[in-house]
Structure 1
Amino acid sequence: MCKALILSLLPAVASGASYTSTLIGTSWRVRLDIGLERGSWMPKNIKGWGGSGARVVVSALVDFEAELANEAEELVGPRSQTRVLNARGGGKIVTFDGEQAVDFTSGGWCVQRPLGAQAGSDEGLLRFWLDCPSGCARGDVVVPQGERIFFSTGVWDDAQGVRQLCEKKAMTEERLRGGEAGDSAGKDEDRSSSGFALSLPGAAFRRQVAQQEALTALRSRRAYYESWAGLEEGWEAIPAKQGSLSLKRQSGIGLLGRAIGTEYHILGTFGAERV
């Protein structure tokens, strides 16, 4: 298991008249769940970090603006496609020392897709950042003051793509209901049938295997659709139910004292809800 999350930059989809992200103009509450995750290098960054199993859970209210940001982050996307993420509020956590306010300041966001992918038929990768000037801590889970927190998650942010995703989910559920009913009826038929085809060696078994393979494929597809939030609520954009949080760190120092690489350490997970 890799102990540092080193995320590669995907080529960003070019902006065009045919694609306008449905995230623009929407507001979301993001729920950060900060704590030790498998594979994280945070304990090497801060000795003993998260070893107790403590978690910091806090929310932030953000607006996805159309305005271009005045800075960019390599992980998030190119400057020409990074837009303003407006932070409108933080939250509070309860620590051993009492209640602590956690503040966030505005950052930037961008949706990336591999070259050749289409917004209407391919999910995107939403990445954004928020700064946390207050920092936060609960036991041995500590986010130092002034940290920049990076968020990464899947997203469907095209009107046609969202509509097709909802239609495919409904179609899959209908086929699955019919398939499960047919599978049960087929087993009863196999037990009662004396036809020539079913009298051949292994015919009933092969039929059941084929039915189970089809059902397994449908269940796998249903699980994929269920991994997206807001499909039933009619949200304009559909994020994955769970994304990842990370902090940027230098991976090494050169002879002149300059950083020679960047890596991203897993900080926790997050979810998002339309408001």
Structure 2
Amino acid sequence: MKRFSFLIVTTYALCTFHLQDVSAFSTSFPMTKVIQSKKFSLSASDNDSSVESLREEIESMKREALEKLNALDDKVSSLPRESPISTTVKDVNENEYINDTKKLEPIEIDNETETEYMNRRLKERMAVSNDPEFSPMKLMMNTRDEALLDGSKWKLSLDIGREPGTWMPSDWGISGERLKLDFECEFTGNQLYEREDFLGSMGDAKVLQVMDSKLVLSPSITEGSREIAVKNGGWRVAKGRGPNGSDILRFYIEIEEEIKRKSDSSDVYCPAGRIYLSCGFFNMKRPSNGEKSRYKKRLDDLITRAEELDEEIANAGFFEKFGKNAEMIRLKVEMQDTADRFRGASILEPDSSILKFTPTGEAAITKVGGVCCKVIKGVGVEYHILGRFYCQASRNQ
């Protein structure tokens, strides 16, 4: 049907085009050209009368063509579905299909993100399945990355001390002294019913349980270890808030007293109250988009070509060096761009050496994270760096 409708429109356009050409003629134009068609002719001697005749002829031809095409269109529409005129893809010769561009459909650019694609596929599968595994509630749970951390237990070691860029007082930790604080916690699946700006949305926040409600200050030369009471906190995965749109795991604990060495010379302390921690979070079930490997291969190829080109420049003649040096400049620019893209892709697909995995291996977090405290300045809020932390999955899962 679409094909015959297209023929109707094409016939009408051609007829209109010829009519416009003829209407452009005037008696003041010295016409010597003779226009001929299947049913009529026009010469310079009978210009005005022939124009009217030509218009009538065209209208008649147009009506006749439309009637024939409509009749043919109706006839084809009435054919049975199994008629020889209908052809499946399997009936078409492969080479003929590839070489005939009229049969090829244009490829649309796919702007669908990976998350959108996975969600759409799950919804499509759920729509045609009676399997309880694809119920709406199960679908919602499967699309929440933070569920992969539910119930996982971790051992954390806080390394409190002066870090570059901290906004802590200028005399805080200037001696280089560090406080080592250890505790174990569980990222529970229980809803946190308390608002905390550091976590963001309360609806996605969950309870962080500190084992035995304590952390341990490691011993030093002058004093032994000490236990400090600590309250449970909360945690949440901040989607897309990290570098290059990566995910961040944010959580906090609440310390009941200021932590400091008993020595009078100590210049570093951990303030009482909530201590905030953050690190990278990665869903290891999410398929790779392959960008990291593609940029890595491209970068290796560019480095190999640069080494070859360096030798060619050394052996090239005076004038030949100009062209090869220009190529080397372009090569270095592309190498820098590819290296930047590779680093960006490496943030989203980090090497396993910088990660610590859940017991199931379905999720991972970076083994080093940041520690900070909240400071109220007037009506504003600042987060001052206290140090960093190291983590590993607890053996007591």
* TM > 0.5 fold call: yes
What are the within-5 Å matches in structure 2 for residues 138-149 of structure 1? 138=261, 139-144=266-271, 146-149=272-275
C-alpha contact 2:246 2:348 (8 A) present in aligned 1 = no
Q: Which residue of 2 aligns with 1:77?
A: 200
Q: Which residue of 2 aligns with 1:88?
A: 211
Compare 224-233 and 126-135 and name the one that shifted more: 224-233
Other structure's SS at 2:163 match: coil
C-alpha contact 2:282 2:364 (8 A) present in aligned 1 = yes
Instruction: Say if 2:339 is the partner of 1:214.
Output: no
How far 1:192 sits from its partner (Å)?
Answer: 4.0
**Unmatched tracts of structure 2, length 5 or more:** 1-138
Pick the structure with more strand per residue. 1
Q: Which residue of 2 aligns with 1:112?
A: 238
How far 1:184 sits from its partner (Å)?
Answer: 1.3
C-alpha contact 1:31 1:270 (8 A) present in aligned 2 = yes
What are the within-5 Å matches in structure 2 for residues 125-136 of structure 1? 125-133=248-256, 135-136=258-259
Aligned residue among 386, 394, 397 for 1:267:
386
Higher relative contact order (CA 8 A, sep 6+): 1
Structure 2 Cα separation of the partners of residues 168 and 101 of structure 1:
47
Other structure's SS at 1:65 match: strand
Aligned residue among 32, 44, 58 for 2:158:
32
How far 1:193 sits from its partner (Å)?
Answer: 5.6
TM-score in terms of structure 1 length = 0.70
Instruction: Say if 2:323 is the partner of 1:203.
Output: yes
List per-residue Cα deviations over 1:107-166 (Å, max 9, x = no partner).
11112236xx9x9x941232110122354224221124x421011333334631xx427x
Distance 1:72 1:230, change over 3 A: farther
Q: Which residue of 2 aligns with 1:256?
A: none
TM-score in terms of structure 2 length = 0.51
How far 1:242 sits from its partner (Å)?
Answer: 4.1
Distance 1:56 1:28, change over 3 A: same
C-alpha contact 1:64 1:109 (8 A) present in aligned 2 = yes
Other structure's SS at 1:159 match: coil
The one-letter code sitting in structure 2 at the alignment partner of 1:237 is A
Tell me how large the CA RMSD over aligned residues is.
3.5
The one-letter code sitting in structure 2 at the alignment partner of 1:164 is S
State the percentage of identical aligned residues.
Answer: 24
Structure 1 Cα separation of the partners of residues 313 and 163 of structure 2:
49
Distance 1:56 1:112, change over 3 A: same
List per-residue Cα deviations over 1:46-72 (Å, max 9, x = no partner).
xx3212121113333222222211323
Structure 2 Cα separation of the partners of residues 228 and 35 of structure 1:
30
Distance 1:219 1:27, change over 3 A: farther
The one-letter code sitting in structure 2 at the alignment partner of 1:187 is D
The one-letter code sitting in structure 2 at the alignment partner of 1:29 is K
The one-letter code sitting in structure 1 at the alignment partner of 2:152 is T
Larger radius of gyration: 2
Aligned residue among 39, 44, 52 for 2:175:
52
Q: Which residue of 1 aligns with 2:288?
A: 164
Pick the structure with more helix per residue. 2
Distance 1:183 1:238, change over 3 A: farther
The one-letter code sitting in structure 2 at the alignment partner of 1:40 is T
Structure 2 Cα separation of the partners of residues 79 and 69 of structure 1:
7
Structure 2 Cα separation of the partners of residues 66 and 100 of structure 1:
30
Other structure's SS at 2:151 match: coil
What are the within-5 Å matches in structure 2 for residues 169-188 of structure 1? 169-188=292-311
Other structure's SS at 2:219 match: strand
Distance 1:93 1:134, change over 3 A: farther
Aligned residue among 243, 262, 265 for 2:369:
243
**Unmatched tracts of structure 1, length 5 or more:** 1-14, 253-259
How far 1:272 sits from its partner (Å)?
Answer: 3.3
Other structure's SS at 1:180 match: helix
